[in-house]
Amino acid sequence: MGALDHPSFAIDWMGTQAIKRSSYFTMVSRLPHVHPRILALCNYFRLDGTANLKLTSLKPRKRSSSCKSVIISSKRYQLKSDMARANQENKVEDLEDQLKEQRSTAGAHNQELITACNNLSEFVLANSHMTNRIAEMEQNLETEHQMHASALQGEITRFLEEMVIQEQNYQDLMDSRKTALDKKLLVLSKLVAGEETR
C-alpha cells in the first residue's frame, strides 16, 4: 500500500482556504504515474473552480519518495513548460519583427510602385502631346506642300500660255513678212520680165 493510500495521509490546508482554478492542476493531471486520488482532487478543483477544504481529522506525515518524485516531476514539467513558453514567446517576437519588416518593405515597394505609375502617366501624357504635335506639323507640311505645288503648277501653266501666245505672234509676224516678201518678189519678177521684153 502506497503512502497516499495510507489512512493517515492528509493535506492540511491551514484551516479553511479558498483554492482557485489553476494551470497547476492541469499540469499535474498530465504527469505519468499520478495517484488516482491526486487526479480526483485535480478534477474536483478544475470543475468546481473554488473549493473549501478543512481536513483536521488526520495528522500530516512526512512526504514519501513517491510524493517527492511527483513534486520533482511537476517541477521539471513546470520548468519545461516555462522554457517552451519562453521559446514560443521568442518565436512570436521574431515573427512580429519579421512581419513589421515585411510591412515596411511592402510599404517602400508600394511607394516605389506609386512613383513609377506617376512617372508612367507623365510619360504617356508627354508622348500624347508629342504625337499630336507631330501630327499637326505633318498636316501643316502637307498643306504647305499642296500650296507650293499649286502655285508652281499655276506658274507653269501661265508660262506655257505665254509661250503659246508668243509663238502665235511670231507665226503671225513670219506670215506677214512672207506675204510682203512674196509681193516684192512678184514685183521684181514683173520688172525683170518687162526689161526682157524690151
Decide if 36 contacts 68 (C-beta within 8 A). Answer: no
Which percentage of the chain shows pLDDT scores above 90? Answer: 30
C-alpha cell at 196: 526682157
Taking the C-alpha atoms of residue 82 and residue 119, their distance in angstroms, rounded to an integer, is 55
Predicted confidence (pLDDT) per residue in 59-93, tens digit = 444 555 666 677 777 777 788 887 888 888 888 88
Flag whether 48 is in a domain.
Answer: yes
Taking the C-alpha atoms of residue 176 and residue 179, their distance in angstroms, rounded to an integer, is 5
Report the chain's C-alpha Rg in angstroms: 64
Across the range 11-28, mean pLDDT stands at 43
Which carries the bigger pLDDT value, residue 40 or residue 197? 197
Predicted confidence (pLDDT) per residue in 94-146, tens digit = 888 889 888 888 888 888 999 999 999 999 999 999 999 999 999 999 999 99
| pLDDT winner (highest mean) among 14-18, 27-31, 118-122 | 118-122
* pLDDT at 33 (0 to 100): 53
Flag whether 3 is in a domain.
Answer: yes
Position 37 confidence tier, pLDDT thresholds 50, 70, 90: low
Per the structure, the complete domain to which residue 55 belongs is given by 1-62
* pLDDT at 140 (0 to 100): 94
The alpha-helical segments, DSSP class H, found in 11-64 are 23-29, 36-48
Taking the C-alpha atoms of residue 164 and residue 174, their distance in angstroms, rounded to an integer, is 15
Q: Inform me whether the pLDDT recorded for 155 exceeds 80.
A: yes
Flag whether 20 is in a domain.
Answer: yes
Give the count of domains, the chain.
Answer: 1
Flag whether 47 is in a domain.
Answer: yes
